């Protein structure tokens, strides 16, 4: 058992200054509170629960800087044109490349304040589309990368079977494709490695009857799906299924607390209210949604409906808890032309939009990952993030304002306040350094040079 005394410790009930916690040998929190614990190691700064990252495509980390230019003769770029660039990159990746890209993405995550991640993983086969001798080859590379970094992982192997509603898969999608039996075999194999979510890619990529068959075959555990990211997707679902994506899922799929609907950007008032009533999580990826020009989630109304949400780094173009929350907050401010629009009735007493956003995202993320994370409390995993009070953004702050300062000004002067990070009781980042970062960086750079030369 290890004991810690934090200058400032954030519990569900609020800040303790100081606060104490005890961590078991297997990385769980045994106790957390105001009662002093003998021989406790001091932690200077603001100690927060680690943030779960509910949606990642790790290999997209290798597209940063390489996917933001118009092609010759191309007047407009959207998700669909960006996707073609992504496919070309993906089709050349070998298993060791996938592991190197994922390790760099996960290193960036822990340094940015994420301590666990749901990896929405859909590259299953060899570049020519044939299965590897080990069907789980690419999935196990994701697991290896997460272990090398020390980040918690919920693996979400993706079921992908169509190129659109009533449309066969494209040739460029050959690495993704599995039938139901093959998919269930992959899921069962990966359960040996930890928490697994089932992940039908979307209603465009998984025919309705196949989705219902999957749900019947896997009636328990988390379910992740892309839904209503683009207006084109909504229109295609209305034409092909007679309902918009979230409308169809509410009517046919039995949405409940198992579910995470990633994006859910283009939804009606009725869909928004239904999603909230179901207790599902809206998986918001503000930086990626802005990068791709997807649109803005209707967060204020959703929170007033009692809806749950979490955040994900998705395409991993910029990986930071504070940056995701800042983009989420600022997008709402720009749309409503008001400040502090995310706080729902009954939350005004916190006087802290940063705290409201952070708390909601950590709770929704923990639900989405189906892991005992997202809070500093007995029985939860000891995933901690320590903010440096000497970082430029936090100079002169107190526990009352620290989360607002981090969310609004977290990267001031190029210095992230995230100083130390613990996952499952083990420090994976100390003084902003990870013990394996040089090795991880070397492998990542080698992949980038090989594929972008």
**What are the chain's domains?**
2-49+375-439 (2.30.40.10), 51-369 (3.20.20.140)
What value does the mean pLDDT of the chain take? 95
CA distance 20 to 7: 9
Tell me the pLDDT tens digit for each residue of 242-297.
999 999 999 999 999 999 999 999 999 999 999 999 999 999 999 999 999 999 99
Chain length of the chain? 453
pLDDT of residue 411: 74
Calculate what percentage of the chain has a pLDDT beyond 70. 96
Other Cβ atoms within 10 Å of 188 Cβ, number: 12
DSSP-derived pairing of the beta strands 114-121 and 152-159:
parallel
Q: Is 311 left (phi over 0), alpha (psi -120 to 50) or beta?
A: beta
Average pLDDT value for residue range 101-109: 99
Contacts of residue 447, Cβ cutoff 8 Å, sequence gap at least 6: 62, 97, 100, 101
C-alpha to C-alpha distance for 85 and 326, rounded to whole angstroms: 28
| Residues designated catalytic | 263, 314
Please report which residue ranges of 191-241 form alpha helices under DSSP H: 208-217, 231-241
434 has pLDDT over 70: yes
Q: Given phi > 0 = left and psi -120 to 50 = alpha, else beta, which region is 164? A: left
What is the token pair recorded at 89?
């990159």
* pLDDT band at residue 95 under the 50/70/90 scheme: very high
pLDDT tens for residues 200-257? 999 999 999 999 999 999 999 999 999 999 999 999 999 999 999 999 999 999 999 9
DSSP 102-147: HHHHHHHHHHTTEEEEEEEE---S-TTSPPPSSTTHHHHHHHHHHH
pLDDT at 244: 98
The pLDDT of residue 78: 64
3-state secondary structure of 358: helix
Cα–Cα distance for residue pair 247/441, rounded to 1 Å? 44
> What is the C-alpha separation between 406 and 270, in angstroms, rounded?
34
State the pLDDT at residue 136: 98
Best CA proximity match to 319, nearest among 416, 196, 444, 403 = 416
| Phi, psi angles (nearest 5°) of residue 419 | -105, -45
CB-based contact 252:244 (threshold 8 Å): no
Question: pLDDT tens-digit profile of 302-359?
Answer: 999 999 999 999 999 999 999 999 999 999 999 899 888 887 777 765 668 899 999 9
User: 23-32, 69-78, 195-204, 389-398: which range is least confident on average?
Assistant: 69-78
Lowest mean pLDDT among 71-80, 176-185, 200-209, 408-417: 71-80
55: which residues sit within 8 A by CB, 6+ positions away? 118, 120, 224, 260, 262, 283, 285, 312, 313, 314
Instruction: Say which DSSP state 171 is in.
Output: G
> d(Cα 381, Cα 341) in Å, to the nearest integer?
32
State the helix-helix crossing angle for 245-252 and 269-278, rounded to 10 degrees.
Answer: 40
pLDDT at 71 over 70: no
Residue that has been written with the tokens 């995230």 in this structure: 418
Please state the rounded mean pLDDT for residues 6-24: 98
Q: What is the pLDDT of residue 352?
A: 84
b/e map 417-430, b = 16+ CB within 10 Å: bbbbbbbbbeebbe
Structure tokens at 433: 């350094």
The mean pLDDT of 11-21, rounded to a whole number, is: 97
pLDDT of 75 > 60? The answer is: no
Beta bridge partners of 168: none
Q: Which of 182, 83, 80, 85 is nearest to 136 (CA)?
A: 182
Element (H, E) at 299: helix 299-304
Helix-, strand-, coil-residue percentages of the chain, each rounded to 5: 40, 20, 40
């Amino acid at each position: 058992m290890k004991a810690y005394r934090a200058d400032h410790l954030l519990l569900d009930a609020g800040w303790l200054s100081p606060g104490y916690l005890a961590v078991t040998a297997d990385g769980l929190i045994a106790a957390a509170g105001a009662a002093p614990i003998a021989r406790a190691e001091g932690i200077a700064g603001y100690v927060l629960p680690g943030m779960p990252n509910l949606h990642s495509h790790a290999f997209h980390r290798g597209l940063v800087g390489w996917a933001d230019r118009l092609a010759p003769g191309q007047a407009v770029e959207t998700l669909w044109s960006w996707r073609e660039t992504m496919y070309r990159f993906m089709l050349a990746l070998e298993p060791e490349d996938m592991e190197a890209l994922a390790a760099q993405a996960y290193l960036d995550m822990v340094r940015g304040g994420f301590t666990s991640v749901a990896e929405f993983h859909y590259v299953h086969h060899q570049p020519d589309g044939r299965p590897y001798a080990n069907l789980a080859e690419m999935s196990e590379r994701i697991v290896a990368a997460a272990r090398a970094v020390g980040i918690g992982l919920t693996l979400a192997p993706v079921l992908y079977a169509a190129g659109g509603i009533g449309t066969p898969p494209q040739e460029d999608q050959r690495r993704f494709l599995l039938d139901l039996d093959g998919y269930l075999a992959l899921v069962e194999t990966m359960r040996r490695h930890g928490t697994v979510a089932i992940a039908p890619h979307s209603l465009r990529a998984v025919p309705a009857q196949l989705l219902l068959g999957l749900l019947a075959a896997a009636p328990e555990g988390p379910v992740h799906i892309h839904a209503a990211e683009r207006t084109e997707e909504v229109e295609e679902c209305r034409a092909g299924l007679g309902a918009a994506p979230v409308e169809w899922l509410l009517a046919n799929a039995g949405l409940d607390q198992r579910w995470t609907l990633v994006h859910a950007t283009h939804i009606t008032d009725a869909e928004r209210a239904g999603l909230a009533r179901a207790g599902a999580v809206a998986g918001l990826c503000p930086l990626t949604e802005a990068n791709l020009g997807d649109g803005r989630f209707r967060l204020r109304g959703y929170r007033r409906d009692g809806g749950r949400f979490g955040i994900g780094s998705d395409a991993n173009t910029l990986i930071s808890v504070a940056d995701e929350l800042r983009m989420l907050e600022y997008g709402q401010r720009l749309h409503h032309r008001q400040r502090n629009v995310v706080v729902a009735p009954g939350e005004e007493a916190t006087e802290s939009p940063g705290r409201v956003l952070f708390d909601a995202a950590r709770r929704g993320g923990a639900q989405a990952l189906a892991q005992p994370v997202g809070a500093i409390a007995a029985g939860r995993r000891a995933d901690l993030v320590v903010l440096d009070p000497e970082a430029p953004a936090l100079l002169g702050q107190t526990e009352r304002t620290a989360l607002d300062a981090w969310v609004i000004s977290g990267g001031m002067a190029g210095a992230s306040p995230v100083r130390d990070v613990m996952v499952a009781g083990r420090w994976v980042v100390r003084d902003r350094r990870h013990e394996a970062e040089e090795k991880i960086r070397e492998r990542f750079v080698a992949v980038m040079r090989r594929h972008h030369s």
